[in-house]
Amino acid sequence: MRNGIPAAALSEFVNEVRDTPHEAVMDYGINITWESGTRSHVEAKPMHVGGHRVSRKFSWKADEPRQLMGTNHAANPQELLLSGLGACMMVSFLAGASAKGIQIETLEIDFEASLDLRGFMGIEANSAVGFPEIQYTIHVTGDASAEAFETLHRASVVHSPNAQTILNQVALKGAIVSTSI
Amino acid sequence: MTTSNTTRGDASSQSPLSPGINWLSDLKRSRKPGPFFGEAQHTWSGASTCAVHAGSSDDPRTGAVGTPIYQSSTFLLEDDQYNSIHDGYARDRFIYARYGNPSQWAVQQKLAALEGAESAIVFSSGMAAITTAVLSFMDKGAHVVASKELYGGTYNLFNQELPSLDMSATLVDPRDFDAIEAAIQPNTQILYFEAITNPLLTVVDIPKIVEIAKKHSLRVIIDATFATPIGLRCLELGVDIVVHSASKYLNGHSDLIAGVVLGSRKLIDQVWPRMLTYGGSLDPHASFLLERGLKTLAIRMKAHQDSAFALATYLEQHPAIERVFYPLLPSHPDHAIAQRLLDNATGNVTFVVRGGDGAALALLKALRLPKQATSLGGVESLISLPFNSSQAGFTQQQRVEMGILPGTVRLSVGIEDATDLIADFKQALGQMTDQTETTHA
């Protein structure tokens, strides 16, 4: 099976969604709990795939390095953000390659990004709080031309949910439930 | 090297890939029922017509009537087979007998037609079918809500194996819908019930189970072994997956071990890779036997029901019998559900002999027609006692709590004539009465 993805099933899913759009609706959730200092514990909540419940017994931690008052026990929130972006771009790239019949031999995406903590600290009004830029390089080998890989690259970013979430404004709707003690 | 101009498999299944695909939206292959030999799936109105003709084919080379037995472990590979592997539709081609073979396809098509399913996979046993189906729809950490009245093998899967796989089950009264709903957890993925339970023949209200499942976004798997598709078409009631031990009524001749999983093509395609991994595929000769046995399913089920109902009616009025469980008897707790759901009842009758397990054992020894053996659904009547066979692992108190009273007898009524069965029970129960009178004299 090319790239470990069944192209026939992928095609059938695409055309099922064309006929029954609710099968394309994915509901996700995570729950994050403070452990200590900058360290937190994250658990995936049950996912709904086209209205069908899927158990997700996965958990991970987030932390900051000691220099940022943490204990350096886990990847930090920015690294987790980049990994979520990169993993999504990789799925998109592989799905597109499989649909086009391209056999991938190796695939690696390298990410780098810098941010200025003065924004977080609030000591420089003109400094962006978040990443002003994210740089990545895709290293791929497979049975397609450089031109075909570039076309696939562009299409995969255009169709990557996480890349598009970062590129486009997204509503962040929050609430707080507080208990005063 | 032999080359072929025709597709070896389902000719309607072709590669999704073509020139000019820029993104997923350009993919055109849609899901279709099958895999079948490429002939149109007939829809006959009669179950027997379906049972005789669906899936069966005559040998094109010799004209021999009936599906040949393709006793081969492997098949010639050409570009078409290689492409099917690369492009993800290998289930639709013949490659290796464990993946699928013509003898399996014939019986799968017949079973799918009988059940009203888009797709079916036969297995080397009912438990292979059940285990593969359940694990296909359970993810890491998942939970199943199931009936507390379960076949022992299924109970062992839930009780002994799921915890080892970091999964769990909650077993509930199949008549208590509040308890079923209360048992659902955030990680629950499946509701699993037997359409008619063993040995008390509880008839589960499947539409109600389906309603609860839809409310909570769960899948429903039903073991319909005791009901068969002649008695109950589960998929039409909204069930996602139907499993059967085909060793019982489906084959009907007590001469093979097999199982089957049926449902939509989408869901059965998810079962198929698990079948490949777990390995419970049915061999070609057993597939042939099952296909042959199925041809008489509808008339056998009618005969089972007629003899079972006549015998149950006779036993219910006999003074040596304390209680009879048979869904068509008005005294059965689920009589109304059975009348609403079942087109044909099962051939199983469960009854309680006065005097406990000792008296029941004496009855079995005095009977001449039913054979003392486990299993069910064969043309010959089979009789056994739960206390020393299917429920031997439980204490008497546990059996009583499950509703299995001392003296409970499990009888699978064959297709013998009711007059002969009743005469045999009359003489056997008469011997017991004579012995009781002698003892008391």
The DSSP-derived string for A130-160 is S-S-EEEEEEEEESS-HHHHHHHHHHHHHT-
Q: What predicted TM-score, i.e. pTM, was given to this entire model?
A: 0.94
Q: What is the Cα gyration radius of chain A? A: 20
C-beta of residue A48 within 8 angstroms of C-beta of residue A54: yes
Domains: count for chain A: 2
Taking contacts as CB-CB distances below 8 angstroms, the residues of chain A near B142 are: 55, 57
Q: Which domain holds residue A153?
A: 76-181
Work out the angle at residue B314's Cα, subtended by the Cα atoms of residues B310 and B201, and round it to the nearest 5 degrees: 70
Which residues of chain A have a Cβ shorter than 8 Å from any chain B Cβ? 1-2, 5-12, 14-16, 45-46, 48, 51-58, 95-96, 99-101, 151, 155, 159
Which residues of chain A have a CB within 8 Å of the CB of B25?
A: 14
Average of pLDDT values for A50-77?
96
Residue B321's nearest CA partner among B313, B310, B330, B333 is B313
- Inter-chain residue contact B187 with A2, CB threshold 8 Å: no
Confidence at residue A166, expressed as pLDDT on a 0 to 100 scale:
97
The whole-number pLDDT of residue B2 equals 47
Q: Do the chains contact at A12 and B266, CB–CB below 8 Å? A: yes
Q: Do residue A98 and residue A179 come from a single domain?
A: yes
Quickly list DSSP for B181-244: HHT--TTEEEEEEESB-TTT--B--HHHHHHHHHHTT-EEEEE-TTTHHHH--GGGGT-SEEEE
Is the Cβ pair B141, A56 closer than 8 Å?
Answer: yes
Q: Do A53 and B141 touch (CB under 8 A)?
A: no
Nearest to B112 by CA among B45, B68, B50, B194: B50
CB-based contact (8 Å) between B340 and chain A?
no
**ipTM of the complex as predicted:** 0.90
Give the pLDDT confidence score for residue B105 in this predicted structure: 97
**Gap from B86 CA to chain A (nearest CA, Å):** 4
Q: What is the pLDDT of residue B394?
A: 78
Q: Which amino acid is at B14?
A: Q
CA-based nearest distance A149→chain B, Å: 12
> So what's the pLDDT on residue B438?
57
CB contact under 8 A, A53 and B31: no
> Quick one: A36 and A84 in the same domain?
no
3-state SS, residue B169:
strand
Domain boundary among A43, A74, A105: A74
Residues A40 and A128 in one domain: no
Q: What are phi and psi of A44, to 5 degrees?
A: -75, 140
Indicate yes or no: CB of B89 within 8 angstroms of CB of A45.
no
- Tell me how far CA of residue B272 lies from CA of B23, B91, B190, B266, B269, in angstroms: 27, 8, 18, 10, 5
Residue of A nearest to B270 (CA): A9
- How far is the C-alpha of A113 from the C-alpha of A96, rounded, in Å? 26
Rounded mean pLDDT for each run of 10 residues along chain B, 441 residues in total: 72 94 96 84 84 92 94 96 96 96 96 96 98 97 95 92 97 97 97 96 98 97 98 98 98 98 98 97 97 98 98 97 98 98 97 95 96 95 90 82 92 98 97 66 49
Give, for B421, the enclosing helix (H) or strand (E): helix B418-440
Question: What CATH superfamily classification does B298-434 receive?
Answer: Aspartate Aminotransferase, domain 1 (3.90.1150.10)
Burial class (CB in 10 A: 0-12, 13-18, 19+), B59: exposed
For residue A3, report the phi and psi dihedrals to the nearest 5 degrees: 60, 15
Structure tokens at A37: 């200092």
Residue of B nearest to A149 (CA): B22
**Which chain B residues touch A58 with a CB distance below 8 Å?**
140
Task: Kindly determine whether residue B186 and residue A56, on different chains, have CB atoms separated by under 8 Å.
Answer: no
Same domain assignment for residues A121 and A171: yes
Boundary (domain end) residue, out of A39, A54, A74: A74
Extents of the domains making up chain B: 42-294, 298-434
- Tell me if domain B42-294 and domain B298-434 are identical in fold: no
Tell whether A30 and A54 lie within a shared domain. Answer: yes
Instruction: Count A/B contacts: CB-CB distance under 8 Å.
Output: 107
Peptide bond before residue B199 is cis, with ω within 30 degrees of 0? yes
Chain B segment 74-93 residues within 8 A of A by beta carbon are 85-90
Contact B139 A155 (CB under 8 A): no
- Domain end residue (candidates: A53, A74, A95): A74
Q: Are B342 and B232 in contact (CB under 8 A)?
A: yes
| Residues in contact with B31: Cβ distance below 8 Å, sequence separation at least 6, in sequence order | A12, A15, A16, B265, B266, B269
- CA distance to A98, A101, B31, B306, per residue, from A10 (Å): 9, 12, 10, 49
Q: Options 3.40.640.10, 3.40.50.880, 3.30.70.20, 3.30.40.10; which CATH number does B42-294 get?
A: 3.40.640.10
Report the distance separating Cα B76 and Cα B356, nearest Å. 61
What contacts B79, CB < 8 A, 6 or more positions away?
Answer: none
Do the Cβ atoms of B187 and A15 come within 8 Å?
no
Chain A contact present for B139, CB below 8 A: yes
Tell me, yes or no, whether A104 and A181 share the same domain.
Answer: yes
Instruction: Tell me the CA distances in angstroms from B140 to A54, A151, B47, B188, B279, one per residue in order.
Output: 9, 37, 40, 11, 21
Name the residue in chain B with its Cα closest to that of A5.
B88
Task: Report the catalytic residues of B.
Answer: 98, 151, 223, 248
Does residue A119 share a domain with residue A43?
no
| Alpha-helical regions (H) of B87-215 | 102-115, 126-136, 152-156, 177-182, 206-215
Which H or E run contains B300?
A: helix B297-316
Residues in chain B within 8 Å Cβ distance of A160: none
CATH number reported for the structural domain that contains residue A112 in this entry:
3.30.300.20
Contacts of A100 (CB under 8 A, 6+ apart): A144, A148, A152, B17, B21, B22
Question: Residue A137 pairs with which residues in a beta bridge?
Answer: A110
Residue keyed to tokens 């086009």 = A100
Q: Are residues A95 and A147 in the same domain?
A: yes
**Rounded mean pLDDT, A163-171:** 97
CB atoms B28 and A15 under 8 Å: yes
Nearest chain B alpha carbon to A100: B21
| A62 and A86 co-located in one domain | no
Q: Which residues of B touch A46 (CB under 8 A)?
A: 186-187
Which among A53, A57, A153 is the top mutation candidate for probing chain B, defined by the most B β-carbons within 10 Å of its own β-carbon? A53
Q: In this complex, is the C-beta atom of B140 within 8 Å of any C-beta atom belonging to chain A?
A: yes
Q: Do B266 and A58 touch (CB under 8 A)?
A: no
Q: Give the number of other CB atoms < 10 A from CB of residue B380.
A: 15
Give the mutation candidate from B217, B219, B221, B271 for the A interface (greatest A CB count, under 10 A): B217
Partners of residue A29 in chain B, C-beta under 8 Å: none
- Look at residues A112, A159, A162 and name the one whose alpha carbon lies nearest to residue A137: A112
DSSP for chain A?
-GGG--HHHHHHHHHHHHH-GGGG-EE--EEEEEEETTEEEEEEPPEEETTEEE----EEEE---GGGTS---S--HHHHHHHHHHHHHHHHHHHHHHHHTPPEEEEEEEEEE---HHHHHTS-TTS-SS-S-EEEEEEEEESS-HHHHHHHHHHHHHT-HHHHHHHS-------------
Residues A96 and A22 in one domain: no
The 8-class DSSP code of residue B45 comes to S
Give me the residue from B16, B22, B140 closest to A8, CB to CB.
B16
Under an 8 A CB cutoff, do B22 and A155 touch?
A: yes
